Structure 1
Amino acid sequence: MGCDGALNSCQAGCRDMYKTYLIGVVLLLTTHPAAAVEYAENPLLLNEHLLVSDQGLAVYDPVTLRLRWSVLQGEQTLEPVVADGLVLLSGGQGLQALDLASGKTRWRWRSETTLFSPSLDEGVAYLSGEDGTLVALRLVDGERLWQRRFDGWVYPPAVFGELLITGGSEGLLWAVDRRSGELRWQRPLGQELIYSPRALDSGSVVVTTFAGEVKVYSAQGELRWTRRFASLKSGLLVSGERILLSGLDGRIDALDAATGESLWQRSLGERLTLPAALHGERLLVVGDAGHLFEIDTGDGRLISRTRLIGEPVAAPLVYPQHTLFFMRSRALPRAVLIPRQSGDNNDQEI
């Protein structure tokens, strides 16, 4: 049963589902305060806007799921990040700062190579890319505050007080002064990063490498622990004191963030390539055979399995009673609501 678009486009059997979804929207928006540091997400849910990036950016009303505006359709676009009424959208031709209400371009930072989604803090965008550039841009007008270049590509930094911690293809972890761009320390990783470092509540940073290693460092560059896996762990989420890892081996691994000790493992039998999502103590992941798995992050118990009909373009958005997916279509991404329930809903299209 599909529930795409606004309430007035739903069939009778979908109206109750949609009403429950509306309650979930209110709950989600009122229980998720804005973070001090803004990192990119896809999709990105705000009070009055829902942003989805997939070969262009589409912005929807989060309640009715009606399209508000779209830009750059057919072009490479990465995960959006929002602050102070601006949407920062990176891609193959640089960075654009778009007005959140209208989608109009406020300023641009051009590049001949792909730029990754920036990290935002205190009115500054920290932008990096495939050309090895790390640059600080003033959010209000895009003015460059400082810039430095590394060898190889550089991923978006994690912000730690006065430091930016990042790395890339050179197999090094760098800590850079956020005010000046000066290098404070670097540590060898032995292999390039899979993606950007992630901040932990303890004040540490976790990184994953193409050697199958997971490493946690303090903000001062002290290596706290290392774990090695036989397969790459391309997916990384932080849930309180747990680090949740997924990858092409079809397995979820939960590690203690303080020690690296294994808490539990769960094999799902499908390659896990799409971004995962967290909702409280629940983890949602999608396998390459088209199944949505809901897992208890406390013990790794499989709560439900649902067969998806369609190709998701972004991570799921999780509400108390429903999961919202955006599926690839010929034009803009198509919104699909899926009821959340325990058990095996194998091969059922929602």
Structure 2
Amino acid sequence: MTKHTLSRRTVLATASGIVATTVSTRLSSASNRNNPAEPGTADWSRKNTTFGSDPVAQNGKVYFADNSGSLLCCDAQSGEDEWMAGTNGVVPAYAIDASDSAVVVGTESGSVFAFDPSDGKELWTRSVSGNVTSLQIVGDKLLFGLDGKIGALDLDSGGSQWPTKEGNDTYVPLRAAVTEDTVVFAEGSSGLRAVGLDSGAKEWSVDLGDWDHEASTTGISSEDGAVYVGSQWGRLARVEVADGTVTWKNKLDDHGITATAASGNYVVAAASRVHVFSADTGRRQYSLGINPDRDIAIQNNELVVAGLDDSETLVVSGIKLATGVTNWRYKVGEGDDETISTPALSDTHAFVADTQTESLSAIRRVAESPQTTTSTTTETATSTESSATTTETPTTMSKGESTPTPDPTESKTTPDSDTSNRGFFTRGDSVLKESLTPWGLTVIGFAVSVGSLLYQRFKYE
């Protein structure tokens, strides 16, 4: 009978594997305790909540009106209730806004309310002649949209700022684009009208001419002295707010622009897909396979859109505006019968209401920073590190169109992230962090132990 012996090398390898397994298990436990929330995960969700309006996020709070007309305020970090106020009326989706000094809501019965953001105390109320379909806070003014009209109130007192002006809201609630102290809104079947923000006096009007269909203006937004307007029949145009000059026009293959948004060098149009254009030239940069249910939102160079993707899954996605790369993605549900609100954005979260499941969710936009505290005899040091993975969304571009110019406001890559000339261990390097996870160390340690034993067994047979 052959006598099997274990060499010192085998014993050491086996012991090393056991130690690695034990250490990795402890690391795994610690990691679970301090695992930060990643982008695209819901930090909290409120259930059994009905919605009349879209949510609005402001100064660490989220405001929304339920379908009974009550205005609710909850903490943006926890979702816990802070206060509730009544309006005794139905609040439409866009008839809500918030600032540092007031939260405002409008009702279908023609009332506008202002509440104190800190405790929900009513500041003032005013009756207007018509169904309030939209509210927009602009500095110390409050713009309100009615059935085909737009007017302005003083935000502090609720007093009339200027009389209502005739507009157009055949397809969507009448809302305005405001830039350079000028208010621009849809007028007539294919026109735009500009009035002064302070006085309401007419500054100019323009007929877009080939808008194809009566009363077809549907989406309007502004950025840096220009207005971008979309139509029910796929038209998109840039109009200079100074004098109403039409700089460029474009036409989408898929009809029906429902909303527009602009930021920096880019303008976004929502139709059956989301299309991103150069603000300067009107040339399409890329398109996304998402059919948005409602409006789109942009903050910190990130486009946030909620809607159905190509697989008919209802998602909320954060997209890098300059490139179309998906920063994060949150799955809401399946099918096309669910209705999700326009995302309300804070620096760290996107807040979305789902009327199908009657829930409000806080979806993380940036990775939570884990804090590791080390105590010494002289000081306590805290180091934070955040990371997020990105996946690229397939994009489509029109033939002959160029790729978008990178946004100059975006942060540059730091020298430490250059992998062309670095050692295996570099301060702040994420290679080991992402590759040798606690679970990976466990598998490696176990494999080393088993491999050593098998090697010795077959070596002497």
Q: What range describes the TM-score normalised by the shorter chain of this pair?
A: 0.7 to 0.9
Structure 1 or 2: larger helix share? 2
2:194 is aligned with 1:198: no
CA distance in 2, matches of 1:238, 1:17: 36
Aligned with residue 85 of structure 1, among 101, 115, 132: 101
Aligned with residue 313 of structure 1, among 337, 341, 345: 341
CA distance in 1, matches of 2:32, 2:93: 32
Aligned with residue 286 of structure 2, among 245, 249, 264: 264
For the structure 1 residues 200 and 299, does the alpha-carbon distance in structure 2 shift closer, same or farther, using more than 3 Å as the test?
same
CA distance in 1, matches of 2:228, 2:92: 26
The answer to whether the 8 Å contact 2:302/2:319 transfers is yes
Aligned with residue 327 of structure 1, among 345, 351, 354: 354
For the structure 1 residues 136 and 272, does the alpha-carbon distance in structure 2 shift closer, same or farther, using more than 3 Å as the test?
closer
The answer to whether the 8 Å contact 2:145/2:174 transfers is yes
For residue 164 of structure 1, what is the amino acid of its counterpart? V
For the structure 1 residues 318 and 276, does the alpha-carbon distance in structure 2 shift closer, same or farther, using more than 3 Å as the test?
farther
SS of the residue corresponding to residue 292 of structure 2 reads: coil
- The answer to which structure, 1 or 2, has the higher relative contact order (CA under 8 A, 6+ apart) is 2
For residue 223 of structure 1, what is the amino acid of its counterpart? V
Aligned with residue 223 of structure 1, among 242, 246, 258: 246
Cα offset for 1:256?
Answer: 0.5
The answer to whether the 8 Å contact 2:278/2:285 transfers is yes
Aligned with residue 212 of structure 1, among 215, 234, 243: 234
2:82 is aligned with 1:59: no
SS of the residue corresponding to residue 224 of structure 1 reads: strand
- More deviation, 96-105/207-216: 96-105
Where does residue 178 of structure 1 map in the other structure? 197
For residue 221 of structure 2, what is the amino acid of its counterpart? R
For the structure 1 residues 181 and 254, does the alpha-carbon distance in structure 2 shift closer, same or farther, using more than 3 Å as the test?
same
The answer to whether the 8 Å contact 1:88/1:98 transfers is yes
CA distance in 1, matches of 2:365, 2:178: 36
Cα offset for 1:279?
Answer: 4.6
CA distance in 2, matches of 1:311, 1:261: 31
For the structure 1 residues 166 and 17, does the alpha-carbon distance in structure 2 shift closer, same or farther, using more than 3 Å as the test?
farther
The answer to whether the 8 Å contact 2:219/2:229 transfers is yes
CA distance in 2, matches of 1:239, 1:330: 32
For the structure 1 residues 298 and 61, does the alpha-carbon distance in structure 2 shift closer, same or farther, using more than 3 Å as the test?
same
TM-score, normalised relative to structure 1: 0.73
For the structure 1 residues 224 and 237, does the alpha-carbon distance in structure 2 shift closer, same or farther, using more than 3 Å as the test?
same
CA distance in 1, matches of 2:352, 2:32: 16
CA distance in 2, matches of 1:17, 1:112: 54
The answer to whether the 8 Å contact 2:230/2:269 transfers is no
CA distance in 2, matches of 1:146, 1:311: 36
For residue 211 of structure 1, what is the amino acid of its counterpart? W
CA distance in 2, matches of 1:323, 1:83: 18
Q: Deviations over 1:190-220 (max 9, x none)?
A: 353544531112x111111112111111111
CA distance in 2, matches of 1:14, 1:308: 25
Cα offset for 1:74?
Answer: 7.8
Where does residue 116 of structure 1 map in the other structure? 133
For residue 283 of structure 2, what is the amino acid of its counterpart? E
CA distance in 2, matches of 1:206, 1:59: 32
The answer to whether the 8 Å contact 1:78/1:89 transfers is no
Q: Deviations over 1:275-298 (max 9, x none)?
A: 333353433322233133343322
SS of the residue corresponding to residue 134 of structure 2 reads: coil
Aligned with residue 90 of structure 2, among 50, 72, 75: 75
TM-score, normalised relative to structure 2: 0.57
For the structure 1 residues 296 and 110, does the alpha-carbon distance in structure 2 shift closer, same or farther, using more than 3 Å as the test?
same
Please show how residues 1-350 of structure 1 align to structure 2 within 5 Å. 42-55=54-67, 56=69, 57-70=71-84, 71-72=86-87, 75-79=90-94, 80-83=96-99, 85-94=101-110, 95-111=112-128, 113-130=130-147, 132-150=148-166, 152-153=168-169, 155-168=174-187, 170-189=189-208, 190=211, 191-192=214-215, 194-195=217-218, 197-201=220-224, 203-219=225-241, 220-230=243-253, 231-247=255-271, 249=272, 251-268=273-290, 271-288=291-308, 289=312, 290-309=314-333, 312-315=340-343, 317=345, 323-328=350-355, 333-337=359-363, 342=390
CA distance in 2, matches of 1:82, 1:179: 20
For residue 335 of structure 1, what is the amino acid of its counterpart? S
For the structure 1 residues 301 and 104, does the alpha-carbon distance in structure 2 shift closer, same or farther, using more than 3 Å as the test?
same
Q: Percentage identity across aligned positions?
A: 18
For residue 198 of structure 1, what is the amino acid of its counterpart? S
Gaps of at least 5 residues in structure 2 are 1-30, 44-52, 367-388, 393-461
Larger-gyration structure (1/2): 2
Matched positions, count: 307
Where does residue 347 of structure 1 map in the other structure? none
Cα offset for 1:343?
Answer: 5.3
The answer to whether the 8 Å contact 1:327/1:336 transfers is no
CA RMSD after TM alignment: 3.5
For residue 127 of structure 2, what is the amino acid of its counterpart? R
